[in-house]
């Protein structure tokens, strides 16, 4: 049965058929027909944002916290260009998004028409794929394809550019089941011979480590479950990248903490000294490896990844396994069990002793104060007071982001949303709104820095309008803290442009937006302030005045290997040489 309808109606129909319940967007001339259709239906909620960048980060928050693709609708020209940062963010962090943009009518394309931009050209390098749909008969099919591409293989953002005349034109609608199967079908099962080889190594390894990344979370809850089963059954220690936090529980007995530039001492030293490194869905990012030449020099490396281009890109591995982490883990466990569940128990015991030795350094130690709130202390108190809640955390970018990663514990996947690959200041507030849309009853907290938070603060309006009780926990150091830290360590303490002058009064700002705010500066009042934030039934901004010059440790300075971590202020003198200074 063919159903004839306008392109604009097809958009809504296709979204409905794809199970979409929420769209984040902003109207404009080139998408008015689609907005007209949105007006005339009730299945899909449209969240009106305040800036298109906000829409994309909200969709990212929605997607990461649900595992479903996030959907965005923007107009042509400035609407589309405002979406570019979010698209790039989603591309680097492998977040499935479907972004629909309006375009000038086909007959005006190329004439520099009003609000015309070469959207597919601009977004080609920052999407997994994109399409300009010129034929209304292809529109529905393209949207279905878009969802397929965004969610299969390594997930990522796609963009579909829809000229206004195509939205008005009529054609037959095709449903997701009526289109021919897509040619794009990344392999999911890993090579069983390679998996078996890895099992043999697990059986013998003296110092194995599981190095897990965002791929475990993207693979779905089953992968996290299988990771737990593997780690707990074999006794192999687990570390994770920033993106993978929560795949293995922070309270689990094999957890040794996050690794990387601001990762834990024990995690980085275990990576450096291991003899078998099992990378599950991580990508040897430069924040993780430090100096490549000295990266885990004595280990055999296995790498499970769904993206062939991630394998051997930065670090040469010995056992590449191309496939979905969940599928590979399932096979791996099967093979390991069938061969008698063997591990090198005596060696593992010694390995754990060594790790416990590193742990006893207590690398997250900081000198607390009863006069001023230390940011690390604020994180510890936030953790303590929110632990039992159905909690989701988003962050902005900077020191506070690293402190959040270090001091908050995640026991489940999809609970931690942060901009890892692109490091986008301004991500956290809109992301928290996207998460709250998907989980209306949950406690959603954005751990923010004062500077980052200002970048998309207009979205407080969205939170208020949609009654989304997001909590903005601002660690206010009146500095661009992370920049200041680098200037202290690398640029002779010349603090060029790294302080936040003329900050708004966040409490008044909250009131101006129609929500509630509070400020806290005395450590003795911190708990009560956090509790007030949690208990308040609506969006809340907590301005936490913290120590202004605290540095984030541990730290592997740029260009240094894992075993040359700085643990505190005393070790920072002249640590970064000019070679390292050119790195970011």
Partner 1 sequence: MNALNIQKGMSSHSAYDLRDPNAEIVESHTLAVLVENEPGVLARVIGLFSGRGYNIDSLTVAEVDHTGHQSRITVVTSGTPAVIEQIKAQLGRIVPVHEVHDLTVEGPSVERELGLFKVRGQGDKRVEALRIAEIFRANVVDSTLESFVFELVGTPSKLDAFADLMRPLGLADLARTGVAALARGA
Ligand X SMILES: Cc1ncc(C[n+]2csc(CCOP(=O)(O)OP(=O)(O)O)c2C)c(N)n1
The residue within the footprint of ligand X, chosen from 452, 456, 551, 558 (CB under 6 A), is 452
Rounded Cα distance, 548 and 372, in Å: 10
- Contact flags string 430-449 toward ligand X, x per CB under 6 A: -------------------x
Closest by CA to 85, choosing from 121, 120, 119, 53, is 53
Give least dist CB 480 to ligand X, A: 4
Neighbours of 337 (CB within 10 A): 11
- Tokens representing 286 are 């430069």
Distance of alpha carbon 163 from alpha carbon 131, whole angstroms: 11
DSSP single-letter state for residue 108: G
Cβ 306 vs Cβ 290: under 8 Å: no
Question: Which 364-403 positions form the footprint of ligand X (CB under 6 A)?
Answer: 396-400
Say whether 52 is catalytic: yes
Q: How far is the CB of 290 from partner 1 (least distance, A)?
A: 19
| Chosen residue from 480, 489, 544, 556 binding ligand X by CB under 6 A | 480
- Coil, strand, or helix at residue 319? strand
Query: For residues 94 and 310, is the Cβ–Cβ distance under 8 A?
Result: no
Smallest distance, Å, CB 300 to ligand X? Answer: 35
Question: Among residues 13, 37, 52, 550, which one is catalytic?
Answer: 52
Unique residue bearing structure tokens 């929605």: 62
64 binds ligand X (CB under 6 A): no
Q: Which does 309 bind (CB under 5 to 8 A by kind): ligand X, partner 1, none?
A: partner 1
Q: How far is the CB of 238 from partner 1 (least distance, A)?
A: 20
Distance of CA 581 to the CA centre of its chain: 27
For residue 88, the minimal CB distance to partner 1 (Å) is 12
Residue choice 301, 391, 415, 479 for contact with ligand X (CB under 6 A): 479
Does the protein bind ligand X through residue 57 (CB under 6 A)? no
Tell me how many degrees the CA angle 363-368-374 measures, rounded to the nearest 5: 95
Kindly tell me which residue out of 30, 198, 261, 451 binds ligand X, with binding defined by CB under 6 A.
451
Whole-angstrom Cα distance, residue 93 to residue 87? 10
Minimum CB–partner distance for residue 300 and partner 1 (Å): 5
CA 95 to chain centre: 8
Q: DSSP 3-state assignment of 408? A: coil
Q: Give the one entry of ligand X, partner 1, none that residue 297 binds, where binding means its C-beta sits below a cut-off of 5 to 8 angstroms depending on kind.
A: partner 1
Chain position whose Cβ is nearest to ligand X: 449
Closest distance to ligand X from the beta carbon of 304 (Å): 30
d(CA 261, CA 241): 10
Do residues 411 and 30 make contact, with C-beta atoms less than 8 angstroms apart? no
User: How far is the C-alpha of 220 from the C-alpha of 282, rounded, in Å?
Assistant: 15
Regarding 266 and contact with ligand X (CB under 6 A), the answer is no
477 binds, among partner 1, ligand X, none (CB under 5 to 8 A by kind): ligand X
CA distance 246 to 225: 11
- 350 HSE (CA, 13 A, CB side): 8
Does position 421 interact with ligand X (CB under 6 A)? The reply is: no
Q: Return the residue of 477, 513, 520, 550 that touches ligand X, per CB under 6 A.
A: 477
- Cα gap 427→42, rounded to integer Å: 29
Per partner kind, with CB cut-offs from 5 to 8 A, the member of partner 1, ligand X, none near residue 132 is partner 1
Do 420 and 93 contact (CB within 8 A), yes or no? yes
The entry of ligand X, partner 1, none that residue 397 binds, CB within 5 to 8 Å by partner kind = ligand X
Please, are residues 111 and 159 in contact by the beta-carbon 8 Å criterion?
no
Q: Quick check: 483 binds ligand X (CB under 6 A)?
A: yes
User: Least separation, in Å, of the C-beta of 357 and partner 1?
Assistant: 20
Q: According to the binding rule CB under 6 A, does residue 212 interact with ligand X?
A: no
Identify what 382 binds: partner 1, ligand X, none; CB under 5 to 8 Å per kind: none
CA–CA distance, 544 with 374 (Å, rounded to integer): 10
Neighbour-count burial of 114, counting CB atoms closer than 10 A to its CB (0-12 exposed, 13-18 middle, 19+ buried): exposed
Query: Which residue in 277, 482, 555, 565 is the catalytic one?
Result: 482
365 contact choice in partner 1, ligand X, none (CB below 5 to 8 Å, kind-dependent): none
Number of residues that bind ligand X (CB under 6 A): 20
Interface with ligand X (CB under 6 A), residue from 174, 231, 261, 482 = 482
The verdict on whether 40 is a catalytic residue reads no
Phi, psi angle pair for 470, to nearest 5°: -70, 140
Q: Which does 183 bind (CB under 5 to 8 A by kind): partner 1, ligand X, none?
A: partner 1
266 in active site: no
Q: What are phi and psi of 485, to 5 degrees?
A: -60, -45
Which residues lie near partner 1 (CB under 8 A)? 120-121, 124-125, 128-129, 132, 149, 154, 183-184, 191, 193-194, 197, 201, 204-206, 275-276, 297-300, 307-309, 311-313, 316-320, 322
For ligand X, the closer CB: 359 or 400: 400
Instruction: State how far the alpha carbon of 370 is from the alpha carbons of 62, 367, 439, 474, in Å.
Output: 38, 10, 36, 20
Q: What is the nearest approach in angstroms of partner 1 to the Cβ of residue 197? A: 8
Strands 170-173 and 3-6, by their bridges, are antiparallel
CB under 6 A: which stretch of 106-114, 421-429, 537-545, 553-561 binds ligand X?
421-429
Site membership for ligand X, residue 175 (CB under 6 A): no
DSSP β-ladder status, 45-48 and 22-25: parallel
Nearer to partner 1, 282 or 319 (CB): 319
Which residue, 219 or 395, has its beta carbon nearer to ligand X? 395
Mark residues 306-325: x for contact with ligand X by CB under 6 A, - for none: --------------------
Closer CB to partner 1, 196 or 488, in the complex: 196
DSSP secondary structure, 410-462, as one string: --STT-EE---SS--TT-HHHHHHHHHHH-TTSEEEEEEEHHHHHHTGGGHHH
- Contacts with ligand X, residue ranges (CB under 6 A): 396-400, 423-426, 449-452, 475, 477, 479-483
Residues serving a catalytic function are 52, 114-115, 164, 482
């Amino acid at each position: 049965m063919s159903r004839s309808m306008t392109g604009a109606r097809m958009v809504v129909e296709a979204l409905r058929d794809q199970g979409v319940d929420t769209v984040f967007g902003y109207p404009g001339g080139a998408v008015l027909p689609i907005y007209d259709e949105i007006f005339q239906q009730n299945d899909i909620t449209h969240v009106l944002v305040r800036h298109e960048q906000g829409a994309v980060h909200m969709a990212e928050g929605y997607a990461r916290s649900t595992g479903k693709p996030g959907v965005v609708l923007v107009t042509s020209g400035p609407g589309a260009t405002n979406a570019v940062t979010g698209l790039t963010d989603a591309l680097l962090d492998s977040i499935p998004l479907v972004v629909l943009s309006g375009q000038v009518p086909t007959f005006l394309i190329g004439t520099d028409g009003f609000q015309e931009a070469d959207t597919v050209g601009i977004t080609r390098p920052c999407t997994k794929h994109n399409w300009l749909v010129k034929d209304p008969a292809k529109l529905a099919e393209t949207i279905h394809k878009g969802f397929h591409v965004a969610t299969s293989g390594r997930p990522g953002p796609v963009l579909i550019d829809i000229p206004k005349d195509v939205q008005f034109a009529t054609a037959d609608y095709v449903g997701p089941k009526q289109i021919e199967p897509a040619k794009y079908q990344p392999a999911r099962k890993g090579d069983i011979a390679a998996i078996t080889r890895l099992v043999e190594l697990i059986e013998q390894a003296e110092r194995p480590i599981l190095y897990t990344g965002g791929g475990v979370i993207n693979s779905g809850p089953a992968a996290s479950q299988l990771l737990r089963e593997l780690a707990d059954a074999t006794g192999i220690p687990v570390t994770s990248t920033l993106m993978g936090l929560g795949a293995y529980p922070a309270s689990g007995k094999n957890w040794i903490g996050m690794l990387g530039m601001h990762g834990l001492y024990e995690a980085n030293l275990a990576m450096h000294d291991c003899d078998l490194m099992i990378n599950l869905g991580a990508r040897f990012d430069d924040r993780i490896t430090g100096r490549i030449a000295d990266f885990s020099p004595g280990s055999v490396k296995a790498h499970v990844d769904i993206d062939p281009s991630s394998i051997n890109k930065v670090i040469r591995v010995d056992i590449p396994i191309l496939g979905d982490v969940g599928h590979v883990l399932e096979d791996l466990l099967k093979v390991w069990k069938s061969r008698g569940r063997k591990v090198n128990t005596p060696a593992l015991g010694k390995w754990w002793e060594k790790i416990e030795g590193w742990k006893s350094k207590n690398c997250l130690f900081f000198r607390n104060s009863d006069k001023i709130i230390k940011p690390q202390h604020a994180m510890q108190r936030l953790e303590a007071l929110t632990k039992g809640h159905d909690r989701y955390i988003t962050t902005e970018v900077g020191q506070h982001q690293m402190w959040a990663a270090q001091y908050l514990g995640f026991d489940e996947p999809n609970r931690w949303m942060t901009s890892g690959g692109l490091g986008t200041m301004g991500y956290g507030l809109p992301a928290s709104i996207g998460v709250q849309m998907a989980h209306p009853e949950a406690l959603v907290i954005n751990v923010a820095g004062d500077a980052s938070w200002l970048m998309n603060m207009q979205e407080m309006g969205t939170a208020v309008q949609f009654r989304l009780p997001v909590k903005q926990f601002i660690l206010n150091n009146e500095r661009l803290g992370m920049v200041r830290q680098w200037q202290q360590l690398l640029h002779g303490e010349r603090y060029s442009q790294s302080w936040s002058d003329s900050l708004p009064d966040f409490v008044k700002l909250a009131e101006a937006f129609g929500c509630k705010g509070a400020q806290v500066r005395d450590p003795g009042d911190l708990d009560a302030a956090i509790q007030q934030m949690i208990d308040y039934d609506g969006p809340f901004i907590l301005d936490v005045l913290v120590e202004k010059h605290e540095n984030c440790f541990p730290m592997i300075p740029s260009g240094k290997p894992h075993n040359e971590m700085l643990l505190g202020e005393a070790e920072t003198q002249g640590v970064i040489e000019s070679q390292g200074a050119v790195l970011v």
